[in-house]
Amino acid sequence: KSWIEIGGQRHPRVRSVSMNCYMNGGEGGVWCYVFQKMTDIVNPSPSQAFVFVDEHEDSITIGFFAVLAGTIWPDTRWLQLPASRHGGACTFSFADGHAEIKKWRDPRTLVPVKRQDIHLLPGWTAFGLQSPQNKDVLWLTERASSKKPDAPPDVP
C-alpha cells in the first residue's frame, strides 16, 4: 500500500493515479492540442490517447500528469514519472474506455520509490529529467497529445 510521511507520521496516499494534462486541462501546451470533448481526440485516436496513468509515488505533486507531447527524438525527458511498482509495469486507461498494462523497457524508467519529491532530486530541472533516447518516454508522449500544425519543428 502506498504511503507518505508527513510530520514524522505515516499516512496512506489519497491517490496513485493522475490525469493526462492534455485531457480537458488548462495546462496543455501552446503547441499541442488540449482535448476538451471526445470529438477533439483525433491525433492520437481515442484508442491511443491515454486519460489516466498510475503515477510514481514520488512524482505525485500536482493534480495532473505533465507530459511533453511532440517530444523530438533523441531529446526525450520526463516531467512526471509513471509508476513501475507493478513488476516494472504501469496501468493506463484510454479515451475509448479500455485499459492497458505497459511493461517498461528502459531501466531508467524503473526509478525506486524514495518517499520524497522526485523533482528535488539531482538531475531534475525545471525542464524535467533528461532521459535521452528513452523509448518509454516516446511511447508515453505519443499517447498524450500531438503538435499543432503551426508548432515550430524544434519545440517539444
Measured from the Cβ of residue 5, the count of other Cβ atoms closer than 10 Å reads: 10
Return d(Cα 34, Cα 78) in angstroms, integer.
Answer: 19
pLDDT higher than threshold 90 for residue 97 = yes
Mean pLDDT of the chain: 87
Q: What is the pLDDT of residue 17?
A: 93
pLDDT higher than threshold 90 for residue 1 = no
Q: What is the pLDDT of residues 126-143, one digit of tens each?
A: 667 888 899 999 999 999
DSSP 71: P
For residues 34 and 22, the answer to whether their CB atoms sit within 8 Å is yes
What is the average per-residue pLDDT within 90-102?
98
**Residue 143 carries which side chain, given as an amino acid letter?**
R
For residues 107 and 134, the answer to whether their CB atoms sit within 8 Å is no
Q: Tell the burial category of 1 from Cβ atoms under 10 Å away from its Cβ (0-12, 13-18, 19+).
A: exposed
pLDDT higher than threshold 60 for residue 27 = no
Q: What is the pLDDT of residues 37-57, one digit of tens each?
A: 999 999 999 999 999 999 998
For residues 21 and 67, the answer to whether their CB atoms sit within 8 Å is yes
Q: What is the pLDDT of residue 47?
A: 98
The pLDDT confidence band at residue 156, using thresholds 50, 70 and 90, is low
